C-alpha cells in the first residue's frame, strides 16, 4: 500500500514537477481551488473551506501554497494576501487535521531564502542566522511559525522547512522572464547588478523535497540554494553566453524599477548569499551546482 502525500499549491511549477518524481512510490493528491482530476480536492482558504476527504489516510503533506511574491505591486492588500495565502492555508490544514484526529508522519513546508532579509552583503547566511527585519523576512518568519505549529500541536512527527531560492525553470519564473529580452538584444542587468541571486535548478528543488520526504531524520530549516553564488549581472551574462547573444544595453536604473514596482523593487535590487552546506551534510547531492550547466540543460543547449 502506497503512502499518501497531499500537495498544496497545485498550480505551481514545483508541485507538478515534484508529483512526477513521487507518483511511482507514493499516492499523490493535490489541494486546489478548482478540481479538474480525480486526485484533486478543492479548498478555499479565504472562506476556510476544505474537502476533508483529501486528508483521509494521508501520511505526509507538502505545503507549497502561497501567492507569488513578485507577481504584483505590494499594496497593503497584496501584503495581506501574501501572508494569508501561506499562514491561513496552513492553519486551515492544521484545524482540519485536529478535527479529524489525524497525525502526519511529516509536514514539509515551502519557505523563502528571504528569511535572512533583503540586503546585499558579503556575508554567507546559514540556518543558524537570525531573520532580517524587512517585509519579506516577516512573511517567511510567519510562514515558518505556521509550519512549526504542526509539531508543537502534535499533528506531525516532524516538520521540515525548505528555504527556497530563485527557482530556474524553462517553463515559468525568473528565467522565463529573463530569456526573451536577451534573445531580442535588449536584456541587461538590473540596478547595480551586484546583488546576489541565490538560485536553484527546478530539478534540484524537487529532488530536495523528495529527499526530505524520504529521510525521517530531517527536520527544521534547510536552505534550498545552489552552492555557487552569483550576482544578477553574472546571471544575465551567463544566460546571454549560453544563448550566444550579445548584451548591448546598459543596466536598468534602480529608479526605473522602483517606479514600476514600488516596494517590490527591493527584492529585485538587493540580494545576499546563503549556504547550502547544511542540506549537503545530510547526504543530499545537487545535480546542477554549476550555473552554466544548469542553463545549458534548461535552455536545451548542449
Counted residue by residue, the chain has a size of 302
State the pLDDT at residue 59.
98
pLDDT at 266 over 90: no
Identify whether 234 is part of a domain.
Answer: no
For residue 38, give every residue at least 6 positions away whose Cβ sits within 8 Å of its Cβ, in sequence order, or none: none
Report the mean per-residue pLDDT for the chain: 94
Task: CATH number of the domain at 130, please.
Answer: 3.40.50.720
Residue 40 domain-assigned (yes or no): yes
Contact 251, 268 (CB under 8 A): no
Is the pLDDT at 160 greater than 60, yes or no? yes
Q: Is the pLDDT of residue 122 over 90?
A: no
CB 276 within 8 Å of CB 223? yes
Contact 32, 77 (CB under 8 A): no
* pLDDT at 141 (0 to 100): 97
- Assess if residue 65 is contained within a domain: yes
- Within a domain: residue 189? no
The band of 172, judged by pLDDT with boundaries at 50, 70 and 90, is: confident
What are the tens digits of pLDDT across the range 104-120?
Answer: 999 999 999 999 998 88
**48 vs 262: which has the higher pLDDT:** 48
pLDDT exceeds 60 at position 164: yes
C-alpha cell at position 270: 538587493
Predicted confidence (pLDDT) per residue in 19-34, tens digit:
999 999 999 999 999 8
pLDDT digits (tens, 9 = 90+) for 180-193: 999 988 899 999 99
**The model's pTM:** 0.95
Instruction: Dig out the grid coordinates for 242 from the structure.
Output: 549560453
How many structural domains does the chain have? Answer: 1
Cell 501584503 identifies what position? 79
Percent of the chain with pLDDT over 90: 81
Alpha helices in the chain (DSSP H): 13-22, 76-100, 135-152, 174-183, 202-214, 232-243, 254-261, 265-269, 277-281, 291-298
- Residue 90 inside a domain? The answer is yes
Rounded mean pLDDT, 209-236: 97
- pLDDT tens for 73-85 read 999 999 999 999 9
Q: Is 298 part of a structural domain of the chain?
A: no
pLDDT of residue 237: 95
Residue 29 domain flag:
yes
Cα R_g (the chain), whole angstroms: 19
* Domain residue limits at 38: 3-166+201-225+276-287
Confidence category of residue 301, pLDDT binned at 50, 70, 90? low
- Is 211 domain-assigned? yes
Amino acid at each position: 500500500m502506497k503512502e499518501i502525500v497531499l500537495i498544496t499549491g497545485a498550480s505551481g511549477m514545483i508541485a507538478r514537477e515534484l508529483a512526477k518524481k513521487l507518483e511511482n512510490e507514493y499516492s499523490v493528491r493535490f489541494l486546489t481551488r478548482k478540481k479538474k482530476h480525480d486526485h484533486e480536492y478543492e479548498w478555499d482558504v479565504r472562506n476556510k473551506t476544505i474537502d476533508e476527504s483529501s486528508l483521509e489516510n494521508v501520511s505526509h503533506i507538502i505545503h507549497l501554497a502561497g501567492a507569488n511574491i513578485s507577481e504584483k505591486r505590494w499594496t497593503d492588500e497584496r501584503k495581506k494576501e501574501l501572508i494569508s495565502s501561506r499562514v491561513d492555508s496552513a492553519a486551515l490544514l492544521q484545524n482540519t487535521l485536529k478535527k479529524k484526529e489525524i497525525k502526519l508522519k511529516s509536514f514539509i513546508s515551502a519557505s523563502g531564502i528571504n528569511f535572512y532579509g533583503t540586503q546585499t552583503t558579503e556575508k554567507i547566511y546559514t540556518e543558524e542566522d537570525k531573520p532580517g527585519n524587512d517585509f519579506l523576512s516577516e512573511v517567511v518568519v510567519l510562514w515558518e511559525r505556521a509550519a512549526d505549529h504542526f509539531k508543537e500541536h502534535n499533528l506531525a512527527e516532524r516538520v521540515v522547512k525548505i528555504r527556497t531560492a530563485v527557482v530556474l525553470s524553462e517553463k515559468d519564473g525568473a528565467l522565463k522572464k529573463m530569456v526573451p529580452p536577451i534573445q531580442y538584444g535588449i536584456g541587461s542587468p538590473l540596478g547595480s547588478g551586484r546583488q546576489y541571486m541565490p538560485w536553484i535548478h527546478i530539478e534540484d528543488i524537487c529532488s530536495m523535497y523528495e529527499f526530505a520526504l524520504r529521510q525521517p531524520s530531517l527536520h527544521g530549516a534547510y536552505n534550498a540554494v545552489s552552492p555557487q553564488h552569483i550576482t544578477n549581472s553574472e546571471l544575465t551574462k551567463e544566460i546571454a553566453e549560453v544563448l550566444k547573444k550579445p548584451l548591448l544595453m546598459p543596466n536598468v536604473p534602480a529608479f526605473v524599477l522602483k517606479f514600476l514596482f514600488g516596494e517590490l523593487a527591493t527584492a529585485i535590487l538587493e540580494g545576499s548569499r546563503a549556504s547550502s552546506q547544511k542540506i549537503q551534510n545530510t547526504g543530499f547531492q545537487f545535480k546542477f551546482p554549476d550555473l552554466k550547466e544548469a542553463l545549458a540543460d534548461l535552455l536545451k543547449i548542449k
